[in-house]
Amino acid sequence: MSIVLIREERPVDAAAVFAVHAAAFAGDAEARLVDRLRAAGKLTVALVAENAAGEIVGHVAFSPVQVTSGKAPSAGLGLAPLAVRPDCQRRGIGSRLVRQGLAACRRAAAPYVVVLGEQADYTRFGFRPASQWNLDNEYGAGDEFMALELSPGGLPEGGLIRYAQEFAELGA
């Protein structure tokens, strides 16, 4: 495997990040989502994977989420989207993006991170079904909706997790 550097996203990376997401997913909805989150100032943590030739081959975004419940609202971060260029997949780049992204979330003092994805892909990073904390999501996902507590007591008990408005516009 060629050497890949994981670093913070820079403004000059926007077009390459768009291309990575468009190549990794069927269509450009996720790529447009990243652009909308960036424009709204909601990319709390955004990392890229850069190969030895200086090409962006991967990207991960973490944006604000909010738990709404009868108690005081609680803010955390949502991991989405994550993409690796198809010709670079299955080389550990996505895993490195997630691990370093979670470390950046801890440095940013985020109390928790949620993700909607395959359990096999995310339990290895410590994510567990959010239902263990009586947390629900606005998409009706079951055990594919997972949470990771980054600081002791960081995850509230119960409530509905809402993603940034830009996610609702994903299909638009």
Each residue of 24-61: pLDDT tens digit? 998 899 999 999 999 999 999 999 999 999 999 999 99
Q: pTM for the full model?
A: 0.94
Tokens of 166: 């830009």
Instruction: Look at domain 4-168 and name its CATH class.
Output: alpha beta
Q: Is the pLDDT of residue 2 over 70?
A: no
Q: Confidence band (pLDDT; 50, 70, 90) for 146?
A: very high
Q: Is the pLDDT of residue 119 over 60?
A: yes
Mean pLDDT, the chain, rounded, equals: 93
- Give the amino acid at 162: R
Tell me the domain boundaries of the chain. 4-168
* Contacts by 150-154, CB closer than 8 A, 24 or more apart: 150/102, 150/105, 150/106, 150/110, 150/111, 150/112, 150/113, 151/106, 151/109, 151/111, 151/112, 153/111, 154/76, 154/110, 154/111, 154/112
CA pair distance 12, 7, nearest whole angstrom: 13
- DSSP code of 142? -
3-state secondary structure of 143: coil
CA pair distance 131, 25, nearest whole angstrom: 28
Q: Confidence band (pLDDT; 50, 70, 90) for 73?
A: low
- pLDDT, tens digit, for every residue of 89-117? 999 999 999 999 999 999 999 999 999 99
